[in-house]
């Protein structure tokens, strides 16, 4: 049997020495990079006026507006959720009081 050539993927199957682990890591990185497509920096930027572009660091008026719109919608949604929750609690209280006032249940 030929001696293992360390620092290769084949050797990693039998050996976990540093060069072999490095080879495996490099292979995995290349593999993940292939799957994910081009690295972030090289990927085409989203068009202006999209929140994605704002998140990528653009602060032009169009992108800021997109972000503001999103945040407003987000806050509005939260506000609704809170109001709904309050309403549920209030309804539960009312039910409880009705029961007490009724005295028959």
What is d(CA 73, CA 55) in angstroms, rounded to the nearest whole number?
17
Among 28, 60, 73, 90, binds Zn ion (CB under 5 A): 60
Among 23, 58, 66, 67, binds Zn ion (CB under 5 A): 58
Interface pattern 17-46 for Zn ion (x via CB under 5 A): x--x--------------------------
What are the DSSP calls for 12-78, one per residue? HTT---HHHHHHHHHHHHHHHHHHH-S-GGGSPPPPTTSHHHHHTT--SHHHHHHHHHHHHHHHHHH
Considering the complex, what minimum distance in angstroms separates the CB of residue 5 from Zn ion? 9
Q: List interacting residues with Zn ion (CB under 5 A).
A: 6, 11, 15, 17, 20, 48, 58, 60, 63
């Amino acid at each position: 049997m030929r001696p293992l050539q360390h620092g290769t993927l084949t050797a990693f199957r039998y050996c976990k020495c540093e060069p072999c682990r490095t080879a495996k890591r490099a292979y995995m990185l290349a593999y993940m990079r292939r799957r994910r497509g081009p690295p972030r920096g090289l990927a085409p930027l989203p068009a202006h006026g999209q929140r994605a572009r704002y998140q990528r660091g653009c602060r032009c008026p169009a992108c800021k507006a997109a972000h503001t719109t999103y945040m407003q919608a987000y806050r509005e949604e939260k506000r609704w959720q809170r109001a709904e929750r309050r309403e549920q609690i209030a309804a539960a209280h009312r039910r409880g009081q009705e029961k007490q006032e009724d005295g028959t249940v």
